[in-house]
């Protein structure tokens, strides 16, 4: 029977519950991931009388979380994007900082090395500039090693970060699975949703979203299944799928993320901090490592090639100045065959910064440049970009090899010379026009075109015949005539025994020009000049000097870091907007709660007053019958 | 109307404060270092350009070092050549004096002594060393003493190399000449050919140095003028073995012309006398001096020896003229190199200045702008802090009693 008293009591109870909800909201106003709750009130159905319905008071029909699923999804995506770009920007910033010091970078060491070569050219007979050249070469090598070690440091640090992140992913998946169990139990026991458990679960999912992009599917029993955006399961019903880290089958120095059964999922992860880390490792870091390695490889190879064209202070032909870096070939651990593959640099000036993959389909090999997918195929050996890949017997169909021509270059370059006298500053051969020559023929100093010619250092005379329109080429040592009656063209190249020279003017009959080993040529600086000249030659991919290749690398790393920063800032703004959108719906506003507090308090007080009124009415009735 | 949650108000204020603090730290970093580019990401293109410019500047500095060194070497060569020039001039004076008819064996002997001393001087000049101890005139063989005298022969044991020095990205200057070019390869006689009398001549004839008067007809072959009688001669091309002019009548001091060559013979040769015309070739400055001494040693006791001395003297005087011209030629090329060097040095210095100002534009911070931005940021940060303090005090709970 509806009565004032009953109505009042329902109000008192209901408003007390509402006040409790309000105080819960106030208590959690600073709780991360908390959704404000609202007690839903409804009028109790009234009692019918002939004249109509008399109200029966109020009741609480539910306590709900105030939230918008669309906004929650947006926040989750924003967290994923923010995690990825923030991690990428942080790592790109590491590389950026590494290349920041103008004095600590490669450029000053390169300059100093070539300036030292110029000093040798200025004073080839002294030992001091030669010693300095070797000292500067050692500094340059150290600088390559230092930068390579720094890059590799970032690389191995990324391995430990990857392990920590995978541990975080596993912990979060475990938590979600545990909360799923609690939620399923709670839903079985009470009618209403376990709001605070649900908030906790959403909060874990958001943390997971920041690590790796996720999608969720709710089951009928209230449990949430969690997958990555590319479909790898993390939580299914009440069970977490634990991930692990495993060494890369092609490059064991890298760790990869694998699922519970060991299947590698790294290349499928694109979002969150994990995705950002893997992206940067694949793009930015590998690129920088290869670019630095290529400068080292091209420098060692071209400087060596030039140095070998010279003659040292003791009259011996030049050797290598640097020990050239070696290429790296990594067979996949899944390979069934036993073939060994070697890659050799045949033309360092054609090298790119790309890595290559060699595939065997059972019949022929395919070498693919990984940056753009261009490839060459055949039975082998395969040649591409100044690289020759030689394949031994025993490959099985499906075997693959990763070819990294320059990746380790900056770490492997070293100095091959220690004796300053071995610096080949001079040209190996010289030309001498006989003093008795009657004509005014002149001879350019011979240059070396083929240092391997065994007869290079033989003494050879070019003797003009009568009339002096032809000349004979005579090996003075053995007395053999290498060529007779060679037609004379003023200024034209005359090349024998691996050297080339030119005779100009009008030689007279009987005039002779000699080419011989440049023994005692301590004041000759021709090869030192040529070495120093490499500094400005465009030797890297035929387009850039060494320094330009390095500065391009710095520029690329810088713009990479810059755009990563811009991206991260933009994503952070989007995340902030998404957080505010969520706060706008689900966040606690203390003023609002204060107003609710007053409202419910007033209503509670009014209800209490109603009991008093009801009591007064009752007293009045009692007094009337007394 | 959107709702605003209480934590949003806090977060928004904190975001504002954090953002300003990051920016202030960045600006302060810039002001402290004076650099606009702290790390490549601040301006990737600028960072890479700054490296390129830095390298070019380093290189230009090295070119200036190289240029100074080339300058030293060339200056040393020039002053040495000046000494050679003075020496040859003195010898020329002596030769003119010696050729006058008033000499006695004693005076000739005195001259010969001086020439011999000058020859030693010339040898010293030719063996000069540069600041690094290299012989300046030894070609590539810096440690080899280039000119050695054995008996009366001065021989050159260096080679024909010359050291180039890089003075700009594209230019090299040859900092020195080989002793072969400077001292050995001097054209003798009149520069085209030299004349001599056969040692067995018995007449008093002296063949004048002559000249090439018809370039088109000049062959550059060797010739001889052979007297078949006291007044007739043949001209034979010795290179080809053919007689060019046969049985010519001889007139003292009359022009003898064949194959573009014009010369004359003074005094009367005897039948069987022979004069040679030798084309081209080289004669070292040392040889010229030694020939001078040899000519001075002749005692003109009779017509034939007087003619021999006269013939030899004439060749020496001519050769000294050629030697002087030759040294002047070399000095001119040294001078040209020095002035080219100077031009490149100026050009390098200009380029360096330009690049330094470009580098400064690329890399250095605009201090005024940076400090005003910093001030702006500080003001903004203070504003956020104040407004946050004010806003956070607002709460309905303040009014609940």
User: Cβ contact (<8 Å) for B159 and A521?
Assistant: yes
3-state secondary structure of A316: coil
- Percentage of residues in chain A having pLDDT higher than 90: 67
Of A114, A523, A534, A576, which to mutate for an interface test with B (greatest number of B Cβ within 10 Å)?
A: A523
User: Cβ contact (<8 Å) for B134 and A548?
Assistant: no
- Could you give the strand order of the β-sheet that contains A239-240, starting from the edge strand earlier in sequence? A214-218, A224-228, A233-236, A239-240
Q: Which chain B residues contact residue A525 at CB under 8 A?
A: 163-165
Nearest CA in chain B to A28: B7
Nearest CA in chain B to A563: B41
Of B3, B40, B276, B364, which to mutate for an interface test with A (greatest number of A Cβ within 10 Å)?
A: B40
Q: Which chain A residues contact residue B2 at CB under 8 A?
A: 584
Q: Which two tokens mark A24?
A: 């819960």
CB atoms near residue B182 (< 10 Å): 28
The minimum CA-CA distance between B249 and chain A, rounded to whole Å, is 31
User: Cβ contact (<8 Å) for B169 and A536?
Assistant: yes
User: Please, how many CA atoms are within 13 Å of residue B371, restricted to the half-sphere of its CB?
Assistant: 5
- What are the C-alpha distances in Å from B288 to residues A134, A257, A309, A433, B291? 48, 90, 41, 21, 5
Predicted pLDDT at B199: 86
What pLDDT digit, counting tens, does each position of A277-306 carry? 999 998 889 999 999 999 999 999 999 999
- E strand spans, A90-238: 214-218, 224-228, 233-236
Predicted pLDDT at B299: 85
Tell me what ipTM this predicted complex has: 0.85
Asked if residue A363 has pLDDT above 90, the reply is no
CB within 8 A of A218, min separation 6: which ones?
Answer: A224, A225
How many angstroms separate the CA atoms of A533 and A226, rounded? 62
Mean pLDDT computed over B51-65: 93
Which phi-psi region, left, alpha or beta, contains residue B300 (left: φ > 0; alpha: ψ -120 to 50)?
Answer: beta
Q: Which residue has the tokens 């679960």?
A: A201
The minimum CA-CA distance between A550 and chain B, rounded to whole Å, is 8
Strand partners of residue A383: A388
Q: Which two tokens mark A151?
A: 């890059």
Confidence category of residue A2, pLDDT binned at 50, 70, 90: low
Q: Which residue has the tokens 């020759």?
A: A388
How many angstroms separate the CA atoms of B313 and A32, rounded? 115
- What are the C-alpha distances in Å from B361 to residues A147, A253, B26, B47, B355? 28, 43, 19, 12, 10
The minimum CA-CA distance between A531 and chain B, rounded to whole Å, is 12
By Cβ distance, the residue of A105, A520, A598 closest to B144 is A520
- Percentage of residues in chain B having pLDDT higher than 70: 100
Q: Which chain A residues contact residue B161 at CB under 8 A?
A: 430, 445, 518, 521, 523-524
By Cβ distance, the residue of B138, B165, B281 closest to A523 is B138
Range name among A68-77, A188-197, A497-506 with the lowest pLDDT average: A188-197
Confidence category of residue A269, pLDDT binned at 50, 70, 90: confident
Asked if residue A1 has pLDDT above 70, the reply is no
Predicted TM-score (pTM) of the model is: 0.86
User: Cβ contact (<8 Å) for A520 and B59?
Assistant: no
Asked if residue A101 has pLDDT above 80, the reply is no
Q: Which chain A residues contact residue B3 at CB under 8 A?
A: 584-585, 587, 589, 592
Mean pLDDT computed over A321-349: 89
By Cβ distance, the residue of B3, B41, B395 closest to A561 is B41
In contact, B203 and B265? CB cutoff 8 Å: no
Asked if residue B214 has pLDDT above 70, the reply is yes
| DSSP classification of residue A327 | P
User: Cβ contact (<8 Å) for B159 and A432?
Assistant: yes
Element (DSSP H or E) covering residue A501 = strand A499-504
How many angstroms separate the CA atoms of A251 and A402, rounded? 8
3-state secondary structure of B231: coil
User: Cβ contact (<8 Å) for B69 and A122?
Assistant: yes
What pLDDT digit, counting tens, does each position of A399-412 carry? 999 999 999 899 99
Phi, psi of A239 (to 5 degrees): -120, 135
What pLDDT digit, counting tens, does each position of B140-166 carry? 988 889 999 888 888 999 889 888 999
Confidence category of residue A74, pLDDT binned at 50, 70, 90: very high
Confidence category of residue A28, pLDDT binned at 50, 70, 90: very high
- In the A/B pair of chains, how many CB contacts fall below 8 A? 230
Q: Which chain A residues contact residue B42 at CB under 8 A?
A: 558, 562
Of A122, A288, A601, which to mutate for an interface test with B (greatest number of B Cβ within 10 Å)?
A: A122
Handedness of CA A542, A546, A551, A554 (dihedral sign): positive
User: Cβ contact (<8 Å) for A558 and B41?
Assistant: yes
Q: Which two tokens mark A478?
A: 């053995």
Q: Residue ranges of the alpha helices (H) in A435-525?
A: none
CB atoms near residue A523 (< 10 Å): 28
Nearest CA in chain B to A112: B58
How many angstroms separate the CA atoms of A571 and A209, rounded? 14
What pLDDT digit, counting tens, does each position of B274-289 carry? 999 988 788 899 999 9
Of the candidates A335, A212, A331, A304, the residue with the CA atom closest to the CA atom of residue A534 = A304
The minimum CA-CA distance between B146 and chain A, rounded to whole Å, is 12
What pLDDT digit, counting tens, does each position of B357-378 carry? 999 999 899 899 999 999 999 9
Q: Which chain A residues contact residue B142 at CB under 8 A?
A: 124-125, 522-523
CB atoms near residue A80 (< 10 Å): 28
In contact, A352 and A407? CB cutoff 8 Å: no
């Amino acid at each position: 029977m509806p009565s004032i008293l009953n109505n009042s009591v329902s109000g008192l109870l209901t408003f007390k519950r509402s006040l409790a909800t309000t105080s819960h909201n106030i208590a959690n106003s600073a709780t991360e991931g908390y959704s404000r709750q609202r007690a839903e009130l409804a009028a109790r159905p009234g009692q019918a009388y002939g004249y109509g319905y008399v109200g029966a008071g109020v009741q609480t029909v539910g306590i709900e979380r105030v939230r918008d699923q669309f906004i929650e999804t947006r926040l989750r995506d924003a967290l994923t994007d923010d995690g990825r770009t923030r991690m990428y920007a942080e790592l790109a910033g590491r590389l950026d900082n590494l290349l920041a010091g103008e004095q600590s970078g490669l450029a000053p060491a390169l300059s100093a090395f070539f300036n030292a070569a110029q000093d040798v050219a200025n004073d080839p007979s002294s030992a001091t500039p030669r010693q300095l050249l070797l000292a500067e070469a050692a500094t340059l090598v150290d600088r390559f090693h230092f930068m390579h070690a720094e890059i590799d440091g970032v690389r191995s640090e990324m391995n430990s970060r990857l392990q920590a992140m995978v541990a975080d992913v596993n912990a979060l998946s475990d938590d979600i699975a545990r909360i799923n169990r609690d939620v399923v139990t709670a839903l079985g026991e009470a009618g209403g949703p376990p709001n605070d458990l649900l908030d906790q679960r959403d909060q874990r999912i958001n943390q997971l979203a920041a690590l790796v992009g996720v999608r969720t599917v709710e089951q009928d029993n209230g449990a949430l299944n969690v997958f990555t955006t590319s479909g790898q399961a993390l939580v299914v019903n009440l069970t977490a799928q634990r991930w692990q880290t495993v060494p890369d089958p092609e490059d064991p120095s890298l760790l990869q993320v694998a699922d519970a059964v060991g299947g590698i999922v790294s290349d499928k992860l694109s979002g969150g901090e994990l995705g950002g880390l893997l992206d940067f490792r694949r793009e930015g870091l590998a690129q920088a490592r290869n670019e630095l390695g290529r400068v080292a490889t091209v420098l060692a190879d071209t400087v060596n090639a030039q140095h070998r064209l010279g003659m040292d202070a003791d009259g011996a032909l030049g050797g290598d100045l640097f020990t050239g870096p070696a290429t790296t070939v990594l067979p996949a651990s899944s390979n069934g065959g036993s073939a060994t593959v070697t890659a050799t640099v045949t033309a360092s000036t054609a090298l790119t910064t790309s890595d290559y993959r060699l595939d065997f389909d059972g019949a022929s090999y395919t070498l693919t440049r990984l940056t753009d997918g261009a490839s060459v195929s055949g039975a082998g050996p395969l040649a591409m970009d100044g690289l020759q890949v030689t394949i031994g017997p025993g490959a099985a169909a499906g075997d693959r090899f990763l070819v990294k021509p320059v990746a380790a270059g900056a770490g492997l370059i070293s100095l091959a010379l220690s004796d300053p006298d071995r610096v080949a500053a001079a040209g190996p051969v010289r030309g001498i026009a006989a003093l008795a020559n009657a004509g005014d023929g002149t001879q350019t100093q011979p240059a070396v075109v083929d240092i391997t010619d065994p007869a290079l250092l033989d003494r050879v005379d070019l003797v003009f015949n009568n009339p002096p329109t032809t000349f004979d080429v005579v090996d003075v040592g053995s007395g053999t005539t290498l060529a007779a009656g060679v037609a004379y063209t003023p200024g034209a190249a005359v090349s024998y025994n691996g050297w080339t020279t030119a005779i100009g003017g009008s030689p007279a009959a009987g005039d002779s020009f000699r080419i011989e080993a440049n023994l005692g040529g301590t004041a000759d600086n021709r090869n030192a000049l040529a070495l120093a000249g490499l500094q400005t030659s465009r030797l890297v991919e035929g387009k850039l000097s060494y320094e330009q290749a390095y500065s391009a690398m710095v520029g690329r790393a810088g713009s990479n870091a810059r755009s990563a920063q811009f991206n991260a800032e933009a994503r952070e703004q989007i995340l902030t907007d998404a957080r505010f959108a969520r706060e706008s719906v689900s966040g606690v506003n203390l003023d609002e709660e204060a107003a609710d507090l007053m409202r419910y308090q007033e209503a509670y007080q009014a209800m209490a007053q109603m009991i008093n009124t009801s009591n007064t009415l009752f007293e009045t009735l009692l007094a009337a019958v007394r | 109307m959107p709702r605003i949650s209480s934590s949003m108000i806090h977060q928004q204020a904190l975001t504002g404060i954090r953002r300003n603090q990051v920016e202030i730290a960045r600006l302060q970093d810039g002001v402290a270092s004076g650099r606009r580019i702290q790390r490549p990401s601040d301006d990737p293109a600028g960072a890479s350009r700054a490296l390129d410019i830095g390298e070019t500047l380093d290189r230009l500095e090295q070119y200036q070092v190289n240029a100074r060194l080339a300058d030293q070497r060339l200056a040393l060569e020039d002053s040495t050549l000046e000494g050679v020039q003075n020496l040859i001039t003195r010898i020329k004076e002596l030769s003119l004096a010696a050729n006058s008819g008033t000499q006695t064996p004693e005076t000739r002997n005195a001259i010969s002594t001086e020439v011999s001393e000058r020859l030693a001087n010339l040898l010293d000049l030719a063996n000069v060393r540069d600041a690094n101890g290299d012989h300046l005139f030894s070609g590539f063989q810096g440690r080899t003493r280039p000119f050695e005298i054995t008996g009366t022969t001065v021989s050159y044991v260096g080679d024909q190399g010359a050291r180039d020095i890089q003075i700009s990205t594209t230019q090299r200057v040859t900092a020195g000449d080989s002793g072969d070019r400077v001292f050995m390869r001097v054209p003798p006689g009149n520069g085209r050919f030299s004349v001599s009398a056969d040692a067995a001549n018995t007449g008093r004839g002296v063949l004048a140095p002559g000249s090439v008067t018809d370039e088109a007809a000049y062959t550059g072959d060797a010739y001889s003028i052979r007297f078949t009688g006291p007044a007739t001669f043949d001209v034979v091309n010795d290179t080809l073995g053919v007689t060019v002019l046969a049985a010519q009548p001889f007139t003292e001091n009359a022009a003898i012309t064949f194959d573009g060559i014009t010369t004359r013979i003074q005094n009367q040769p005897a039948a069987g006398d022979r004069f040679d015309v030798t084309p081209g070739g080289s004669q070292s400055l040392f040889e010229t001096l030694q020939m001078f001494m040899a000519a001075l040693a002749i005692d003109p006791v009779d017509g034939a020896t007087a003619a021999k001395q006269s013939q030899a003297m004439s060749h020496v005087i001519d050769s000294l003229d050629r030697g002087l011209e030759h040294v002047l030629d070399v000095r001119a090329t040294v001078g040209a190199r020095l002035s080219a060097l100077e031009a490149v040095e100026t050009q390098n210095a200009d380029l360096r200045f330009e690049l330094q100002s470009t580098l400064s534009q690329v890399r250095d911070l605009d201090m005024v702008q940076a400090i005003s931005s910093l001030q702006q940021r500080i003001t903004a940060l203070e504003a956020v802090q104040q407004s946050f303090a004010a806003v956070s005090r607002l709460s309905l709970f303040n009014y609940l009693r």
